[in-house]
Amino acid sequence: MKKLSILTIIMVLSLGTMYGQKNKQKDKTMSNQTEKVSYFLGAEVGTYYRTNKIEINSDKFTQGFVDALADKANFTEEEKQEIIAILQKMQQEAAQEMIKENKEIGRKFLEENKKNKDVKETASGLQYKVVKSSESGVSPKATDQVKVHYHGTLIDGTVFDSSVQRGQDITFGLNQVIRGWTEGLQLMKTGEKFIFYIPSDLAYGDQGAGQQIPGGTTLIFEVELFEVNPE
């Protein structure tokens, strides 16, 4: 419950600030560090609950904040555990709804994308587009090591990882990455560059990968294959 406790503290601070500034909704003037930090925390918490679609009654939360300052917000351990269980259920339901929405967004994108005459689709649902081809290159096997440059984005163009931007290529075992990469790079030859459109079930699935790649997310990778070496 450590994460919950930290989040709760931030929420209390931020909503206390909201309560004190009810009549200044558009006034973002900050006169000192405390006000700046308070407003920032309020914005962060508001964004968290908005993006995760968890409903919060700000009036009741503010009441709890004020009661806590007056040492009147007392709960038994049983009541705390009951409320925590409710909050966890709300978070889980919101997460599942977001995964469902992300999958639907990805499905619609891929359905439209495959209408492009340059885009091909495999039996697994992986889509790819050849940017640069090679007649003499070598294709890797799933057990090989490959050296590549890549540029990874969400379908809205948000960059989540890029060896190109870092200016440093990367070498890895082809059986050590997401399924979309393992399958896709075997379609390539050295010297070629492809764009892969990878549905979530061939990427990071419902689990996602950190905050940058939510569960159910379709990914786009531009990959250039430099070398193939046996494992």
Q: Which residues are catalytic?
A: 150, 160-161, 178, 204, 221
Query: Cα torsion at 207, 209, 212, 218 (round to 10°)?
Result: -70
Fill in the amino acid letter for 149: H
The secondary element (H helix, E strand) that includes residue 147 is strand 145-154
> Count of residues for the chain?
231
Per the CB < 8 A criterion, the answer to whether 106 and 160 are in contact is no
Burial of 203: CB neighbours in 10 Å, binned 0-12, 13-18, 19+: buried
| Neighbouring C-beta atoms of residue 174, cutoff 10 Å | 21
Q: In angstroms, how far is the first alpha carbon of the chain from the final one?
A: 43
